[in-house]
Copies of this chain bind each other. A is one copy, B any other.
Amino acid sequence: TGVGIDEALLAAAENLELFACAFAGTGHLPMDELDARGVTVTNAGGIHAPGIAEQAIGQMLTFARNLHEGVRRKQNREWRHFKARELTDSTVTVVGLGSIGRAVTQRLQGFDVDTIGVRYTPEKGGPTDEVIGFDEEPFHDALARTDYLVVACPLTDLTRGLIDADAIATLPPHAVVVNTARGPILDTDAVVTALQTEGLRGVALDVTDPEPLPEDHVLWTLENALITPHTGGHTPKHWDRLADILADNYEALDSGGDLENVVLAP
């Protein structure tokens, strides 16, 4: 029956209490219909967070240690020193403190860095040293102090184009941007211009706009752009984690306990 649930199937499912979606996103589901029928919907949010966070930190360390220059020299069989930096004492700003943003912050614990978290509701606090909202003044103040910017928020009307030419101009030119979220949160043209003019040290893009990135796109040609084909969430533990959520929720349903990952609670 595929990944969704159509109306005929829904009408036939008279005793349906829970629809456990295997994705984080539920945009493909008839949420109003499910709501009207009193069906709870849970999602798979969070199961990709450890893998995505590891990838983001691997990409930051690649730029910190210039490991991509190491790859280039290896291909030339060239044993010759090059300059590297340190992540130590950097300021890492994490946009979005959901499961991915929290997983990134957790993994930065031992690195002696300062962290700034950006979230819709800064009054909730968070695991970062500072937590701010999306208002332009605090956000740009944070960008001006940022060495590594990790984008880990959902794509919404507010975040579409959030990292635009102005935001990039506010970042120090040695800053690195890592996008783990959705391509359109970055203004691709502004990113390309900054990469071409030393306006940014580098970007790591696991997601792009457009996506897939067309073969003739200039981003492929830039040495200071790391590109992976939306593989951040690929992990062999995906299905195990999904099964754990489902098994726990099945038990909770039976015992009347709290469900995990609820996105619709009629």
Known: A50-B88, A55-B84, A106-B110. 13 other contacts (CB 8 A): A54-B88, A57-B57, A58-B58, A65-B231, A67-B226, A71-B71, A73-B228, A74-B226, A77-B215, A79-B212, A82-B229, A82-B231, A84-B234
Is the CB of A220 closer than 8 A to any CB of chain B? Answer: yes
Beyond A51-B86, A54-B65, whether A74 also contacts B110 by CB under 8 A is no
Whether the Cβ atoms of A67 and B228 lie closer than 8 Å is: yes
Which B residues touch A85, using CB under 8 A?
A: 235-236
Kindly report which residue of chain B lies nearest to residue A73, judged by CB atoms: B229
B contact residues around A220 at 8 Å (CB) = 74, 77
When distances are taken between beta carbons in the complex, the residues of chain B under 8 Å from A66 are 231
Q: Does A264 contact B (CB under 8 A)?
A: no
- Contacts known (A83-B234, A231-B70); A55 close to B65, Cβ less than 8 A: yes
Q: How far is the CA of A216 from the CA of B12 in the complex (A)?
A: 69
Residues of B contacting A231 in the complex (Cβ-Cβ under 8 angstroms): 65-66, 70, 81-82, 84
- The chain A residues found within 8 Å of chain B, CB to CB, are 50-51, 54-55, 57-59, 61-62, 64-68, 70-71, 73-74, 77-89, 106-112, 211-213, 215, 217, 220, 226-231, 234-237
- Chain B contacts for A64, CB-based, 8 A: 54, 58
> Using Cβ atoms and an 8 Å threshold, which residues of chain B touch A58?
58, 61-62, 64-65, 67
Question: Chain B residues near A50 (CB, 8 Å)?
Answer: 86, 88, 112
Contacting pair B226 A86 (CB below 8 A): no
Query: A67 with B55: in contact, given A86-B235, A107-B111, A237-B88 (CB under 8 Å)?
Result: yes
Question: Pick the contact of A228 from B70, B108, B215, B235 — CB < 8 Å?
Answer: B70
